[in-house]
Amino acid sequence: MRRSLSRLATVVVVASMLACSGDPGAGAPAAADDDAGDAGGGAPAADLPSSSDPGTPSQAGGDDAGADGAATSADAGPACKKHLTVVYAVGTGASAVSSHSNGCWVGVDADGAANHQFRKCSTSNYMVQNATAPNYAFDDTNPTASLSAQQNFLSQCSSGATGDGYEYMAYRGGAWRLLTATHIRAYFAELYSSDAAIADDYGNWQTAINGHTVSPMINFGPKDPATIKSYAAKMCARVPDHGYFGAYNSDWPSGMTATDTRAVALAAAINACTALAP
């Protein structure tokens, strides 16, 4: 009996030593392993393909890390009221504006002339450029143009596409024309009547046509940053979470840097619209 008690005492001492030794294999599993795969932040952004896919538009503007997932720490990402995707109809100015993003929105350069992951389908010449690209941008529908010609061209533009499609719509003759096709991710109302206008057709924007959500597209080419910021703020306020915001730069031949007041104004409006108030 005394020998048994001696052995029992030895077992208790050994167990106590192990519990205090700091052995990483002892006790409960470390919680850090559960977060090891979340360094990029949360779930993939809604409506945006994975950046690991070489044929996705997310390459043009990057991933929206944590768009749907809760932050795992104070440094996991910005506090956002909503997340948006900003689609650029022309490449000039795209990186200039997106460089100011607060992290609540990402940019996609959908200009086939600048991003060969997109087909460029312009009704100015009815030709499909980069015909084998996975994504496409149809520019644009017009109620005063031949309906059958535009339907056939859209079919040609979208044929065989496996990625995202974007359709731009011009307001002509007091109406919009929305044409459906495979893989269209978003429809955009061009809210400018000419290259000199910023958003003179804002009052004619219908956020839904025939059951399809219609997103706004602003022209940030004119040299009037105050008006750009004002209209962008109004447009952004009406775009829902995980929605789309279109941007066209009519001054594309002149180029645009990140310090351009027009780029700063547009980004500032979207930042204010998407971020949670401090």
CATH no. for residue 143? 3.20.20
Q: Give me the chain's average pLDDT, please.
A: 80
pLDDT at 38: 34
Q: Is pLDDT above 50 for 71?
A: no
pLDDT score at 60: 37
Q: Is residue 128 part of a domain?
A: yes
At 21, list the tokens: 């030794």
Is the model's pLDDT at 138 over the cut of 80? yes
- When pLDDT is cut at 50, 70 and 90, the band that residue 76 belongs to is low
Q: Is the predicted pLDDT of residue 11 greater than 70, yes or no?
A: no
Q: Are 38 and 46 in contact (CB under 8 A)?
A: no
Amino acid 78: pLDDT: 80
pLDDT for res 75: 54
- Residue bearing the bigger pLDDT, 1 or 275: 275
- Full residue range of the structural domain in which residue 177 is found: 88-274
Domains contained in the chain, number: 1
Contact indicator for 231, 241 with CB cutoff of 8 Å: no
Going by pLDDT thresholds of 50, 70 and 90, the confidence category of residue 247 is very high
Q: Is residue 156 part of a domain?
A: yes
pLDDT, average across residues 253-259? 98
246 occurs within a structural domain = yes
Residue 61 included in any domain: no
The residue-averaged pLDDT of 6-16 equals: 37
Predicted local confidence at residue 84, as pLDDT: 98
